[in-house]
Structure 1
Amino acid sequence: MQLLIMRHGEAGWHSLDQERMLTETGRHQVAECAAQIAASPWRPVQIWSSPYIRARQTAAIVSEILNCPVEEKIFITPEDDPGLCLDALLENQHSPLMLVSHMPLVGSLATLLVDGHRRGIPFMTAQAVVLDMPVVGPGCADLKTQFLP
């Protein structure tokens, strides 16, 4: 399975966490990163998005550029357990799959899949990484590349 993990674009701070919206800079960051992914061999066939507005906006921009469907998942919000996401990945039939979420989840999930622990790595806004997993499980993924705005 190939998994792209992407953090949402830059968002404003003028509302509740779940309602924060992308800034103009954030929209440009996401479009730039999505264009890089479109030109790569790692184009997702489906996007899973956090239900938070900034992640949904990010997923919508990526979906438009890559022409792939978006499905909201309630278990990929900032403080969710990466183990819940891992359980869902075990049942997933889509590859490559993109997950659009938030820190600290994106960092924790990436390190869980690559190194088998949950310490977490930092992600810039609109950054995406590509993981290749012959078997879906902790410590089973290889980091193939990353996309930066």
Structure 2
Amino acid sequence: MLLFVLRHGHAEPFSNSDETRALTDEGREEVRAVCKERASELAQVRTIWASPFVRTRQTAKIVAETFGLEVEINENLTGDTPVQQLMDVLAEADEALFPLLLVSHQPLVGSLVNGLCGTGNEHPLGTASLACLKADVWARDCAELEWLQHKPS
């Protein structure tokens, strides 16, 4: 099974709350560039889950519109969710959802990718970074990192 993990694009630094921070124009362009760079791979995605925060919903919407998909909001994708909690959700997810794209925040995206792959902190994810993981089961140290795409410069 394939799992794609995307960190939201660059967001405005200040807002009334962290949940309402929106993407900047630069952030939107970062996400569009990654979609273009990895279009053939992202075309495989069947399901998109996004954090309820504004910037992740905006990021997911760009991907969804590009590939004709819907976005499902998932409360388990906020940045402070314990990584094991998200791993448990993935382990219980129906295989028909995969390839699945998760759109979320740091530190969750980095902890998830590195935790599933057993790579410590080897693979940082900056804004608009997209990772592709492959596994038969979604559990700690059971996935392989197929590739990691940082935002094109």
Please confirm whether the aligned pair reaches a TM-score higher than 0.5, indicating the same fold. Answer: yes
Which of the numbers 103, 111, 121 marks the counterpart of 1:100? 103
| Post-superposition offset of 1:40 | 2.7
Runs of at least 5 residues in structure 2 that lack an aligned partner in the other structure: none
Identify the residue that residue 65 of structure 2 maps to in structure 1: 64
How large is the Cα RMSD of the aligned pairs?
1.6
The aligned runs of 1:25-64 (5 Å cut-off) are: 25-40=26-41, 43-64=44-65
Identify the residue that residue 134 of structure 1 maps to in structure 2: 136
Identify the residue that residue 8 of structure 1 maps to in structure 2: 8
Scaled by the length of structure 2, what TM-score is found?
0.90
Runs of at least 5 residues in structure 1 that lack an aligned partner in the other structure: none
Q: Taking every aligned residue pair, what percent have the same amino acid on both sides?
A: 36
> Counterpart of 2:113 in structure 1: which amino acid?
A
1:146 is the counterpart of 2:143: no
Contact 1:5 1:110 (C-alpha < 8 Å) held by counterparts? yes
Give me the whole-angstrom Cα distance separating, in 2, the residues matched to 1:130 and 1:45. Answer: 14
Change (3 A) 1:144 1:59: same
Contact 1:7 1:123 (C-alpha < 8 Å) held by counterparts? yes
Say which SS state the counterpart of residue 4 (structure 1) adopts: strand
Change (3 A) 1:116 1:143: closer
Change (3 A) 1:33 1:105: same
> Counterpart of 1:132 in structure 2: which amino acid?
K
* Deviation per residue, 1:93-143 (Å, 9 max, x gap): 2111000000000000111100076x5742110010000012221100000
